Chains A and B, each alone.
Chain A
């Protein structure tokens, strides 16, 4: 069981991580993206942070790992900082926070539909348009500019848009 001090330090790490961005969608923090799976400060004042990639082939994970190490290092509050990448608690698209979903929408990305451990990929056919909210849309390709995004077209506002893909 952590002491009060350790809990407070852990909360301060979570706060600091809100300032570390997803390099591809800079308004979205790694916390809101849901890739931080564990934060712990041990009795020797070492910080342990565990992250997991959105897609296992994501080339941005080591960049984010370094950014996390740098940001927590700048707090100058810990003896050692250990940031590891693990699949123990794998990412799935439900891990994006409510705030993260709102940021995605404001940035012009359709947030992924929520799922219950199973996705019928036909849901991709009529994703709500992030610009006009119409579902008169179609999937153009499940493979977009990055592994985690798909490309859609809205027939209502004649606009192509991207979606952050649902993944179980």
Chain B
């Protein structure tokens, strides 16, 4: 179904940018493990997950290009200013150590998997079709994340401590995934485009909780969400990331690859 109403189109466009920017930036962060993963299999796993994320960003930017008169995917990815990005702070923060990388992978990809599952029902056909494709791919990400969260958290005392610390540190940032404009969220719900960030957040909590319990970790949910990313306010880490990511493209935007 074509979405013609202007308010709904704006809300949908913002949703697509939020999703695409999250995938692009986290894809870049995941790719930082290439060559330095703790074991070969994990190096390849993070490289593959990064490649999937970039593929998802590409497909979402392509929907924006084809349906919303936006520039092509490369231009959207490499030529926008920091302020024009609407990724959440959660995907921006540096990769640091493997505990942080794994916990972010678990928290983000569980939400991403559920989001794409919900969007398979979207009244906006291009997004529904893409979501049917993507949710099958992300099943491999959550399989990987769940296995490692359980194993590492039940490892040595130090491993358990580090996974618990990573969870405590990242949970408020992860809540930023669901930052929303209530008005736009309601509009998308009414028009059958997306069941909404509030429902997604609820399902996400219900999904991560059993894994966290099996891992022997504890989750304190009474914390403040870190917000601002969806409005274009970012951490100090995004600008240098964008500069690094677009360095080659900016050298000669017309180059053929």
Point out the residue from B45, B48, B137, B144 that lies within 8 Å of A167, measured CB to CB: B137
- Interface residue stretch chosen among A2-10, A21-29, A41-49, A85-93: A85-93
Interchain CB contact under 8 A, A143 and B130: no
Distance A86 CA – B159 CA, assembled complex (angstroms): 44
Which of A56, A88, A121 is within 8 Å of B56, CB to CB?
A: A56
Residue B206 is within 8 A (CB to CB) of chain A in the complex: no
Closest 6 A/B residue pairs (Cβ): A57-B55, A90-B133, A143-B48, A141-B41, A56-B55, A143-B45
Residues A147 and B132 in contact, CB atoms below 8 Å apart: no
Q: List 5 A-B contacts (CB under 8 A).
A: A56-B134, A141-B44, A142-B45, A142-B143, A143-B49
Q: How many residues of B contact A (CB 8 A)?
A: 26
Closest Cβ of chain A to B169, distance in Å, is 26
A143:B41 contact, CB within 8 angstroms:
yes
Contacting residues, chain A, for B143 (C-beta < 8 A): 121, 142
* Chain A facing B: main interface SS: loop
Annotate B125-167 by CB proximity to A: 1 below 8 A, 0 otherwise: 0100110111011011001100000000000000000000000
B187 contacts partner chain A, Cβ-Cβ < 8 Å: no
Q: Does B52 contact A (CB under 8 A)?
A: yes
Known: A56-B56, A141-B45, A144-B44. A91 touches B140 (CB 8 A): no
Q: Are B45 and A56 touching (Cβ within 8 A)?
A: no
A52–B134 Cα distance when bound, in Å, is 13
Give the contacting residue for B144; candidates A88, A143, A145; CB below 8 A: A143
A91 to B129, CA, bound (A): 11
Q: State whether B140 touches A57 (Cβ < 8 A).
A: no
Say whether A168 faces chain B, with CB atoms less than 8 Å apart. Answer: yes
Over the window 48-83 of chain A, the binary record of Cβ atoms lying under 8 Å from chain B Cβ atoms (1 yes, 0 no) is 000011011111000000000000000000000000
- In the bound complex, residues from chain B placing their C-beta under 8 Å from that of A56 are 52, 55-56, 58-59, 130, 133-134, 137
CA A56 – CA B49 in complex, angstroms?
12
Q: How far is it, in angstroms, between the C-alpha of A138 and the C-alpha of B41 when the chains are bound?
A: 14
A59 contacts which chain B residues (CB < 8 A)?
51
